[in-house]
Structure 1
Amino acid sequence: MIMRKVYRILMSCGYTLIESGGVRSQNAGHSLFKTLLILITTALAYWIFGYAFAFGQNANVILGYQFWASERFGDRDLRPGVENYTNSNPVYNLNNQDPYIHYFYHYMLAFLVTNIAASAFAERCRVPVYVLFSFVMAGFVYPFLSHWMWGKYGWLGNTIGARDYGGSAIVFLTAGIAALIGTAFLGPRFGRFEPRSLPLFGHSIPITSVGAILVAFGFFVLNSGADHRITGNAFGDRVGHGLINTLLSGATSGAVYYILQRLIEKIRKPARHLKRRVFLSTVNSILAGMVAVAGGAVTYNPWSSVIIGLIAAFSFLIWSKLLTRLHIDDPVETAAVHIGGGLWGIFAVPIFRRSVEFLPDGSWRPSDGTTRFWSIIYNITQGESWRGLLNALCTAAVVIAWVAIFIALLFLILKLINLLKVSREEELRGIDLFQHGEPAYALRIYCAACGEQLQAKTIETETGMGVAQRGNFPAIVTDAEGAIVPIEYFTDNRNGGGKPIKIGGINDENRV
C-alpha cells in the first residue's frame, strides 16, 4: 500500500529526467529546480484546501468541505479511543485505508499532474509562474475533478456513471490540456519556428532513457493498483491484467510509432538537421500507450490493450504533427502525449472493457443477473453499451472546460503583468545562470558573455536576411547540442574594445 505511494514519487522523478534530458544543457538545472518548487507548493496547497475539496467529509456532488489543513482529520476526533483507525466502517469510505495514506496517495497524484503539465513550459518560463501554476493545479483544478470522478458523492462518477480507473482523463488529460494552454500563452522558444522550423535537440539521451524507465515503472503500479487492493476475491487477477495490459499497450504504441516515423522520413527525405528526435518521440509514444490504457487497465483483455496501444501511436503522431503545424512549441511533447493518449484512453473504456463493473470508490463486483456493465465490443447491439461513449464524451468535455478556465485565466493575467516569460537574452544564454545563478553542468556549453567556452560545430545563416533587414532576428550560432547563441553576443574582451569577433568558420578545434 505505502510502496504504491512511493512509486508516484519515482514516476514524477522520471518525468523530470525526461524533461531535463530533453532540453538544452544551459537550461537543464532550471527543469530540475522547477520540480522542487512544484513539490513544495503542491504539498502546501493540497494540505490547506485541496484535499478538503476533493475528499472532505460531509461532501456533496460538487465538493467536500471539511479537513481544511487537516482539521478534524483522522481518528483523534472521531475515534479518540482507537489508536490505529482504518476505515472498516463507512465514515470515510476510503477502501480500508488509513485516511492519511489516502491523503498522501492523492497528493502524489496532484503533484504528478502538475509536474507533467509544467514540463511543457521548459526553457522559457519564469520561476514565479511555476509557483502560481502549482497552487492553482493542486488547490483547485485537480481536487474538484478527482472529487467529481472518484469521490463518494461525485456527480461525474456517481451520478453520470463515467469511469476512469487509472486517470486517463482526470490525471493525464488534465495535464495535457494545462500544458497546451500554458505553452500557447508562452509562445515558442527563440529560433524554433522563425525564420524556419528548426528542431532544438535535447542534450542527454541517457538521462531521458533513465527517466522513461522510471515513468514506465510508475505506470505499472498505477495501472494495476489504482483501487488500492491486491488481495481478496479475484483482485490478483485484476492486478495481473493491469500489468500485462500496460506493458502490451506501451510496447505496441512505441513499435508502431517508430515504424510510422521511419516510413514518413523515407518518403519525405528531410534534411538531417530537420529530422525529428526519434528517441525522445519513441519514448513519448510508449508513454502515450500507457496513458491510453490507464482508464480501464484492469478491465481489458490483453488483445484489447494491443489495439489500444496501436491507436494511441496514431493519436500521438497526429497531435504531435498538429501542434507543430500550429507553432505550439512543446520541448518534450507533453501535450501531444497526454492529450493524444488521455483523450483516446477515456473513450477506449466503454469500447473494450469486459463485463465487469468497477465503482467510483474503487470497489468491484463481477457482472451477474442483477449487475451488468455493457461494452461495445461484447454487447454491440445493446443501446446501454453505447451510453458509455456519452459518459466518456461528458468526461472529456468537463476536463477540458474546467482546466481551460483556470489555466487560461492564470496565464492571461501573468502575461498582462509581464511575469510569464524570461527575456530573450536569458533564454539564449541559459536560464540556469540568469535565474538561479548556478549551471547544471560545470564548464559546459554556455555563451561567452557568461564566462564559459562555446564549442560550436555549425553556423546557421539565413541568406538574404541580415541583421539590417531584420533587426529583431540576429544571425545565430548553434552549438553541437542545439543551443542558440547570437553572434552579436560574442565580444573580444582582450582588446578592451568589446567589438564583435569576426567568425569565418567554426569547427571542433575553434574556441570563442
Structure 2
Amino acid sequence: MDQKEYNVSIDYGNDPEYIYYDSFDVHLQYRRTKDYKKSIYGHPVTFIRLFCVLVARGGFILIHLGSVPTDNIYRVIFYNIFQMANSTISYIFFGLMVSFGDISFGGWIGYSEFTSYDMDLAVFGFCCCLIGTAQISTFLTGRVHLATSIIVTTLYSIIIQPLLMHWIWHDEGWMNKNILLDKRVSVKDYGGDLIVHLSSSLMGFIGAAFLGRRLMRVKDLDERSIGVGQSGGTITGYILIIAGYIALSLPTLKYESERAPKNFMNIVLINNFIALATGVAVVSILHLLLFRKVFSYWIVLRCIQGGIAGIISIAAAVDAYSWIHCVAVGVVAAVCFFFVSILIHNTALEDYCNVTAGVMASSTIGIMACPILLGSENFGGRSKKIHVLWQFICFLIVLSSITVVAWLLFMLLSMCKVLRNKKEEENHRRALVIKKYLPKRGFMERLFAIDSKTEHVTPGKDKLKSVRIDRTIETDKDVERRGTFGDSFSGEDTLSRGLS
C-alpha cells in the first residue's frame, strides 16, 4: 500500500474516546486524494444508484395500483409522474444547495455556487429525495388535491429533507459534528433512516390522519384498480423497490475515500440481503403460527413488506453491522412490523401498503439500534452512553420538527379546502354520515369490523372478485341521506377504509 496516496489527519491526537463510528477528521482518517478527484467525472456506483432508484419509482406506481382502491387509476399514475418531475426540479435547483453547499451557516443550512457541487453527492441526495417523496405519496396518492401534492412535494424537496441532509451528512452539520458532555459526538445515519425513511413516512402518516375516513362504493372502483393483472404487477413493484432501497445504501466515493480501504460494497450488499431474508422469514412464520394461512394476496404482500422492514431497520448502520447484528435487528423489526401492521389494519388510517409499520416503525428501531450495538466502534463505556444519548436527542429533534411542520402544513391545506380532491371529498362525507348511525366508536377505529370471515377486494378472474358487504337498514333518515348522496346507502356494496 502506497502511503503517499493517503492524507493522515491527527487533529485529535491518540485519544481513543474520539474514535467511533463517523469520520469527521478523527485519528487515522484516510483520504485517497487521487481517487477522490475523479468524483467530479462520476462514479459507476452513482449510475447504478440512480438507475435503480428511478426503477423503484416505477415500482411505487405498481404497488399503488395494486393496493390502493381508486376510481381513476390515471390520477394515481399522473400524480406519481408529476411528483417525480416536481421533486427533481425542486431539489436540483434549490434543495441541493441547502443540503450539500460548500458553505455552511452554523451547520444549519448550506450555500454554494452550482458549479462547485460534487456530482456524486448531488445524485445521491436527489435519489434520497425521490424515495422520500414516493413514500409520502404512498399515503396520499389518489386522495389529495393536485395543489396539495405540488405544495407537499416542493416543500419536502426544497427545505425539509435537504435541511436534514445538511444537519446529519454535511461535514459541518451540527448533528454530524458536535460536543456533548465534553465528548465529540455524531449521529450515525448511514442509509437515511432519519433523513429519508422516518421523515417521509411521518409526513405521509400525518397527511393520512388529516384525510381521515372514506367510504367508497364498489361500483365506483376503476376496473383496473386491483384488477386481474395487479397481483403480478404489485409483486414486481415491491421487487423494484427492494432494488432501489439497496442501491440507495451503496457507498459513495466520498464515503470510501475518507476511510481505511475496506470492501464496503460487499458488506452493504450482503447485510441488506441478510436483513431482507430475515424479515420475510419471520413474518411468514408468524402468519403460519398465528393464522395458519399465508396463501392469499394481502398476506403474501405483507411477507414481502416484512423483508423491506428488515432492510430499513439496518439502513442506519448497514456499513458497520456484522451478520449477527443484521439478523438480530431484522428479527426485532419484522416482529414489530407484524403486530403494528395488524394494529393499523383495524384503524381508520388509510395505509394499504403498510408504510407505518414497514417504514416508520422500522426506521425508529434502526436509528436507535445502531449506537447500542456498535460497541466495537465506541471505545469506553461512558463514551458509548454519550453517543447513544446524542442519537436519541437528535431522533427526538427530527421527530418533533417533522411532526410540527407537517401538522401545520396539512392543517393549513385543510382550512384552505385544497387538501382532498373532489372525489375524495365525496367519499369522506359519506363516511362521516354513516358514522353517525353506527355504534359510538373511537376516533381512529374502523367503521366496519374486520374478522377472519371478512372477504376483501383481491385480484382475480372477476372484475371485483370478493368484497366485504355492509348493508344499512332502511330508516326514515335514509331518505335524507339519499337526497345528499344518491343511492350510496340503499343496499349497495360499500368499501370502508381498508382492504388488506
* Alignment TM-score, normalising by the size of structure 2: 0.71
Worse-superposed segment, 390-399 or 217-226: 217-226
The structure-2 alpha-carbon separation of the partners of 1:394 and 1:229, relative to structure 1 and needing over 3 Å to count, comes to: closer
- Give the aligned residue type for 1:166: G
- Cα distance change of structure 1 residues 466 and 391 upon mapping to structure 2, 3 Å threshold: farther
Q: CA deviation at 1:390?
A: 1.5
Aligned to 2:209: 184
Distance 1:459 1:217, change over 3 A: closer
In structure 1, what is the equivalent of residue 86 of structure 2?
41
Q: Which residue of 2 aligns with 1:309?
A: 330
Corresponding residue for residue 280 of structure 2: 254
TM alignment of 1:271-350, pairs within 5 A: 277-350=298-371
Note the C-alpha offset of 1:150.
0.6
Aligned partners of 1:141 and 1:402 also within 8 Å = no
State the alpha-carbon separation in 1 of the partners of residues 402 and 258 from structure 2: 37
Mapped to 2, the partners of 1:285 and 1:173 lie a distance apart of 17
The residue that corresponds to 1:105 in the other structure is 124
Q: TM-score, normalised by structure 1?
A: 0.70
CA distance in 2, matches of 1:262, 1:304: 25
Contact 1:21 / 1:28 at 8 angstroms: preserved in 2? no
1:209 equivalent among 235, 242, 246: 235
* Structure-1 separation of matches of 2:261 and 2:375: 15
2: CA distance between counterparts of 1:219 and 1:459?
A: 33
- Distance in 2, matches of 1:208 and 1:383, equals 48
SS at structure 1 position matched to 2:177: helix
**2:393 aligned with 1:394, yes or no?**
yes
Structure 2: distance between partners of 1:313 and 1:218: 20
Alignment of 1:474 onto 2:474:
no
CA RMSD of superposed structures (Å): 3.1
Greater mean alpha carbon deviation, residues 145-154 or residues 102-111:
102-111
**1:173 maps to which residue?**
198
1:30 aligns to 2:49 (yes or no): no
- SS in structure 1 of the partner of residue 111 of structure 2: coil
* Percent identity over paired residues: 22
Rounded Cα–Cα distance in structure 2 between residues aligned with 1:336 and 1:390: 25
Q: 1:341 is aligned with what amino acid?
A: S
Deviations 1:382-411 (A, max 9, x none): 222222321221232122112112221111
Aligned counterparts of 1:297 and 1:106: Cα–Cα separation in 2: 18
Find 2:173's aligned residue among 149, 154, 178. Answer: 154
Q: In structure 1, give the amino acid aligned to 2:115.
A: G
How far 1:309 moved relative to its partner?
0.7
1:6 aligns with 51
310 and 100 in structure 1: CA distance in 2 versus 1, 3 angstrom threshold: same
Q: Distance in 1 between matches of 2:475 and 2:233?
A: 37
Shift, 1:224, TM fit: 3.4
- Distance of aligned partners of 1:455 and 1:394 in 2 relative to their CA distance in 1, 3 Å threshold: same
Deviation at 1:213, TM superposition (A): 1.3
Structure 2 unaligned spans of 5+: 1-42, 179-184, 218-224, 428-461
Structure 2 partner of 1:413: 412
In the alignment, is the contact (CA less than 8 A) between 2:271 and 2:318 conserved in 1?
yes
Contact 1:20–1:28 (Cα < 8 Å) also in 2? yes
d(CA) in 1 for partners of 2:376 and 2:408? 42
Q: Distance in 2 between matches of 1:178 and 1:168?
A: 14
Corresponding residue number in structure 1 for 2:249: 223
**What secondary structure sits across from 1:418 in the alignment?**
coil
1:171-211 per-residue CA deviation (whole Å, 9 max, x = no partner) reads 1011111111011011133159xxxxxxxx94412111111
Once the 2 structures are TM-superposed, how far is the Cα of residue 163 of structure 1 from its aligned partner?
Answer: 0.9
Paired position in structure 2 for 1:447: none
Specify the alignment match of 1:240 in structure 2: 266
Query: Who is 1:494 aligned against?
Result: none
Match of 1:197 in 2: none
Q: Which SS does the other structure have where 2:263 is aligned?
A: helix
SS in 2 for 1:139: helix
CA contact (8 A) 1:14 1:210 kept: yes
Q: Which residue of 1 aligns with 2:33?
A: none
Distance 1:350 1:455, change over 3 A: closer
Which of the numbers 138, 141, 149 marks the counterpart of 1:119? 138
Aligned residues: 396
Per mean C-alpha deviation after superposition, the further-off stretch among 234-243 and 326-335 is 234-243
Which whole-Å CA distance do the structure 2 matches of 1:52 and 1:231 have between them?
22
Give the CA deviation at 1:459: 7.3
Q: What is the CA–CA distance in structure 2 between the aligned matches of 1:143 and 1:125, rounded to whole Å? A: 24
Alpha-carbon contact 1:61-1:148 (below 8 Å) kept: no
Aligned-residue offset at 1:27: 3.8
Determine the structure 1 residue equivalent to 2:108: 63
